[in-house]
Structure 1
């Protein structure tokens, strides 16, 4: 007999593996009101690259390392897009069969870093406070320990909430339940209803539900309306005006739940080139075309190690040693300390190495057991650069 839980787990796994193939088309894309400024004309003017083509001047050793991410599929999984920039100029671009420069691919948890930047805009505007209590109505009752949770705690994944990112079995985790199960209708309510399991700031607990709470705070800050359409429109307009248009990220497509809350921890879509634009924005510390969009203080916050996990900053992964027993995220023994990355489920990466003046986007499908090999290949590529 097939149980409801088994059916949920099966459906969730199918969606986790295949969402990027079908879901992005025509769903909530941000259309610019006018032609968007670009980080550099080269990001659009470079011709579509197929097979193992690269710019003629590319070092053969770098090309070999990059090509290996496609050739060694048994080791690293399926690479659907690889885009490499140096000094903002593309030096390598390749796509898997069926994909190309216009393919919008899923972010998974890379979305967390975009959510952090959107939060930074509102903090810099004075509408939110990094160190003040997070404005979540459900936590404001007298004596509720969750009332002490700040935006900084949420961004550092140290809220103390009883969130379980990955369950064993899979359907017992908050992520599957929130995205595909009982919490899907109102993801923020699901995430915010979790009780406190520790004091705020006491432990690191990576959680996609935490990012949905931030997305709910963003929507509540941008509009007093609880109408789902009004919430979606307010957030889309904000993203368009503050991020997508200035960066030229015209393909960026955030997804929303039925209540109009952006799924800010895991489900956005964009092309590899637009993910690279976001990486370049971070590499340049919040400056685009000579214009500062984010304060230097916010970028420093995002890229500084959190108290409970030096490998994690403000909703972004850092190339630092993590606590004993924690899974590796990057490669601190091989790369520079200033290297950082947005990382998503199944091997989505925006890797930024400021001291090397490099941004790398890798998108694809990688199984958990293939992640060590994928990290080695990406570390080899960054070392070659």
Structure 2
């Protein structure tokens, strides 16, 4: 836990310590959004033009050709992706990570058809972020001739534009056999480096006096999206979600300005600007048991008074 940029509490389980890299699961989505933000800042990508996905432009009239980068970041593409459900073995995410479509997660992600018009429905899914990760790769390595070329270019970009300037030396992200970044699921870093990621966003993108992420990008990813007030640009927000449930943060109890990178087994990097607070929790808790964790995190955050301006 960090307050005002200073570590005030730290605890690890048996066999885990400050040097242990711990898995992100879906916290990786917020890493990918940060990489997209760097490319938007460079002028290499634009939020409100159709996303550069060649497969969606191959057939005239394909409605997916109108999907914008902003809609992908907001999880509002309208594409039919199955994130989870009562039959996990047929979920697109599980198949792409662990089963029959895992050889090329990007190919699996862009193959699915449009289900509803883009920008009209929030549908959280990991394959959308894998598409965003490939958009990053195509922007930084447009002439990649092999999976190794693509991996190398993306790793260099992550290190140069995020890991090194943000003080996240341990950050390590994985790739599929086709060289696609697992941008929705599989990044690893120490708890302290995850905290550094949160602190960067708390400080409006500034690290050690240098602007790493533009403040307008911090503002974008933490602004409620049109189809879900509880979700921004690949970050969860502490607002009432479109589902009306307590399935992300603690909107019924905590400060409305809190936002977070979340992983599905109870991984959290929570940023609370009004408390000048960053809370990192990287334990493993099954989804069905997470309400107790959310309640405890809400109680923890609410112990801290609003910071003086």
TM-score (structure 1 length as normaliser): 0.77
> For 2:29, what is the secondary structure of its paired residue?
helix
Paired residues of 1:111 and 1:265 also in contact (CA < 8 A): yes
1:146 equivalenced with 2:60 (yes/no): no
Q: Identify if the C-alpha distance between structure 1 residues 169 and 269 changes in structure 2 by more than 3 Å, giving closer, same or farther.
A: same
Residue 375 of structure 1 corresponds to 294
* Structure 2 residue corresponding to 1:300, chosen from 215, 219, 222: 219
> Equivalents in 1 of 2:177, 2:68: separation in Å?
26
**Aligned partner of 2:3 among 63, 86, 94:** 86
In the alignment, what sits opposite 1:174? 92
Please report how far the alpha carbon of residue 294 of structure 1 lies from its aligned counterpart in structure 2 after TM superposition: 2.1
> Cα distance, 1:296 vs. partner?
1.8
SS in 2 for 1:322: coil
CA distance in 1, matches of 2:233, 2:298: 23
Does 1:98 find its partner at 2:23? Answer: no
Residues 27, 262 of structure 2: 8 Å contact kept: yes
Structure-to-structure mapping, 1:141-220, within 5 angstroms: 141=58, 142-220=60-138
Aligned residues of 2:73 and 2:234 also touching (Cα < 8 A):
yes
Q: Which residue number in structure 1 is paired with residue 307 of structure 2?
A: none
Aligned equivalents of 2:242, 2:158: Cα separation in 1: 35
Once the two structures are TM-superposed, the CA of residue 174 in structure 1 deviates from its matched residue by 0.9
CA contact (8 A) 1:347 1:363 kept: yes
Distance 1:104 1:324, change over 3 A: closer
Question: For residues 345 and 280 of structure 1, do their structure 2 counterparts lie closer, same or farther at Cα, with a shift above 3 Å needed?
Answer: same
The CA distance in 2 between the partners of 1:88 and 1:361, in whole Å, is 13
Q: d(CA) in 1 for partners of 2:235 and 2:258?
A: 11
- Following the alignment from structure 1 to structure 2, what is the Cα–Cα distance between the partners of residues 326 and 208? 20
Corresponding residue number in structure 2 for 1:364: 283
SS at match of 2:234: coil
Cα RMSD of the aligned pairs, angstroms, is 1.0
For 1:93, what is the secondary structure of its paired residue? coil
Matched position secondary structure for 2:8: strand
Q: Hey, what's the Cα distance between the residues in 2 that align with 1:89 and 1:109?
A: 26
- Quick check: 1:115 aligned with 2:115? no
Kindly provide the CA deviation profile for residues 287-322 of structure 1, in whole angstroms up to 9, marking residues without a partner as x. 111211222221111000001110000000000011
The equivalent of 1:137 in structure 2 is: 54
Find the counterpart in structure 2 of residue 21 from structure 1.
Answer: none
After superposition, the Cα gap between the structure-2 partners of 1:354 and 1:195, relative to the gap in structure 1 and judged at 3 Å, is same
Task: Say if 2:246 is the partner of 1:336.
Answer: no
Name the residue aligned to 1:312.
Answer: 231
Distance 2:13 2:64 in 1: 46
Contact 2:264 2:287 in 1 (8 A): no
TM-score for both structures, normalised by structure 2: 0.96
Distance in structure 2 (CA, Å) of the matches to 1:174 and 1:285:
35
Q: What is the deviation of 1:323?
A: 2.0
Kindly provide the CA deviation profile for residues 45-75 of structure 1, in whole angstroms up to 9, marking residues without a partner as x: xxxxxxxxxxxxxxxxxxxxxxxxxxxxxxx
For the Cα contact (< 8 Å) 1:167–1:174, is it kept in 2?
Answer: no
Kindly indicate whether residue 194 of structure 2 is the aligned counterpart of residue 275 of structure 1. Answer: yes
Deviation at 1:369, TM superposition (A): 2.1
Q: What SS class does the counterpart of residue 97 from structure 1 fall into?
A: coil
Stretches of structure 1 lacking an aligned partner (at least 5 in a row): 1-83
